[in-house]
Amino acid sequence: MSVFLRRCREVVGDAFVLTSADDMAAYLTDWRQRFTGRAVAVIRPASTEQVAAIVRLCGEYGVPVVPQGGNTGLVLGSVPDQSGQAIVLSLTRMQSVRQIDIRNNTITLDAGCRLAQVQEAAQQAERLFPLSLAAEGSCTIGGNLSTNAGGTAVLRYGNTRELCLGLEVVTAQGEIWHGLRGLRKDNTGYDLRDVFIGAEGTLGIITAATMKLFPRPAAQLTALAGLDSPEQALQLLSLAQAHCGATLTAFELMSDLCLQLVTKHYPQTRRALPDTFAYTVLLEISDNESVEHATALLESLMTAALEQQIIGDAVVAASMAQSAALWQLRENISNAQATEGKNIKHDISLPISCIADFIRLTDALLQRDFPGCRMVTFGHLGDGNLHYNVSPALGTSAEEFIGHQDAVNRVVHDSVEQFAGSISAEHGLGALKRDEIRRYKSAVEIQLMQAIKRALDPQNLMNPGKVI
């Protein structure tokens, strides 16, 4: 192994092969601070050519590779296991914006660019890059692509997959696929791009991407509405789509407990509505015409929703500052829940039409089996993605409750299956859900995935133990 590390240092430089426990610590522990793996080294290449050279060395010496971006994943996909046999290949030194093509509305950039950097680069070019996540200050575009991240704007712009036109990938053999094409139509065989997006680094390493940009909207307006049930939230969604059409960018559902936790742990945050509602919807429209046109659309929608008794109250942000304050209610939920204590997370997707029935049925099943458990239910209702998180009953220790994690997961995931949903909407499978997914995918699906893995990574060195 000393010879392997010496040759790696020759590729990237001594300073970028980390082997001490202190230097590696931040790369080995997952985002939620619940698991710490072990590694031979953390290696930080500065270019695609260096990534390829390191991967070739790993193939030569039989060393597994765990690709890592911002290490913000929630399913143990970007940290090594505890065998200590793998390297972590961190792409965070690769942060170049290679090209912005205004007329083609594309940006080509290194995989290590933070999502916030991409948004800023687009803004400086008077364009919009619509992908938006709570972790956008830390996560990288390579990680977003590897997990096919969703976020708050999927309703209008789609997942990361829909935003990507081309990729540059280092294969498991250390070869470079130059697929950075800014084409919206390219019907020349198998779509290799889609093979690597969402694969969590198990088939190859994404080193750069060409992503779509959009014209910046003339106005973005936000509103918050209180209502009594998820069924009313679905009614509001249908009404919003009818009134606002393609201008509807985000439609986020939050249970009352979400807002309780946010205002408890972020006391500077206000609820915005004077009354308490069982559920709250945060919605946003992005209008290319004018602020006046957007305001009229949103006011018309809220008036209709009140008249039809779909909602009990609403507030429309009158400024960017007010809009940001409303979004803080949504964006601070995960951190507030983490501060409150340990919980059991679920990142699920369902047919939108089934969401209300799913929540009603599954809430009841969980209360039957785990009386008093508290539901932190929130997510992207407009695209069917719920973060359906379960916190222990008041007075129950977190450790005792976490001991029931497998049983809680079984209730939730079996209910998801009953409604023809997915147990992973945007977080991926990683190591956390790798075995769980076998309960819900057919043997044919598993065999096809295994065949792709064997074909592209015959040595099983690309992020082994993840996904499949």
Quick: pLDDT tens for 270-291.
889 999 999 999 999 998 888 8
Query: Is residue 1 very low, low, confident or very high in pLDDT (cuts 50, 70, 90)?
Result: confident
The answer to whether residue 32 scores a pLDDT higher than 90 is no
On whether the CB atoms of residues 334 and 426 are closer than 8 A, the answer is no
The answer to whether residue 251 scores a pLDDT higher than 90 is yes
pLDDT for res 290: 87
The answer to whether residue 161 scores a pLDDT higher than 90 is yes
pLDDT for res 456: 98
Q: Which residues contact 316 (CB under 8 A, 6 or more apart)?
A: 221, 222, 223, 295, 298, 299, 302
| Average pLDDT of the chain to the nearest whole number | 95
How many angstroms separate the CA atoms of 185 and 143, rounded? 25
Sign of the CA dihedral with 429 first, then 434, 437, and 441 last: positive
Quick: pLDDT tens for 87-132.
999 999 999 999 999 999 999 999 999 999 999 999 999 999 999 9
The answer to whether residue 136 scores a pLDDT higher than 90 is yes
On whether the CB atoms of residues 234 and 353 are closer than 8 A, the answer is yes
Place of tokens 């390579």: 142
DSSP at 178: E
On whether the CB atoms of residues 80 and 40 are closer than 8 A, the answer is no
On whether the CB atoms of residues 275 and 227 are closer than 8 A, the answer is no
The answer to whether residue 262 scores a pLDDT higher than 90 is yes
Phi, psi of 107 (to 5 degrees): -130, 130
Query: Is residue 292 very low, low, confident or very high in pLDDT (cuts 50, 70, 90)?
Result: confident
On whether the CB atoms of residues 182 and 444 are closer than 8 A, the answer is no
How many angstroms separate the CA atoms of 6 and 61, rounded? 12
On whether the CB atoms of residues 17 and 7 are closer than 8 A, the answer is no
> What amino acid occupies position 113?
C
In the beta sheet, which residues pair with residue 140? 114
Place of tokens 């997510």: 379
pLDDT for res 165: 98
The answer to whether residue 398 scores a pLDDT higher than 90 is no
On whether the CB atoms of residues 198 and 161 are closer than 8 A, the answer is yes
pLDDT for res 318: 82
- Give the domains, in start order, of the chain with CATH numbers: 2-90 (3.30.43.10), 97-215 (3.30.465.10), 219-334 (3.30.70.2190), 341-427 (3.30.70.2740)
> What amino acid occupies position 213?
L
On whether the CB atoms of residues 388 and 380 are closer than 8 A, the answer is no
How many angstroms separate the CA atoms of 336 and 252, rounded? 17
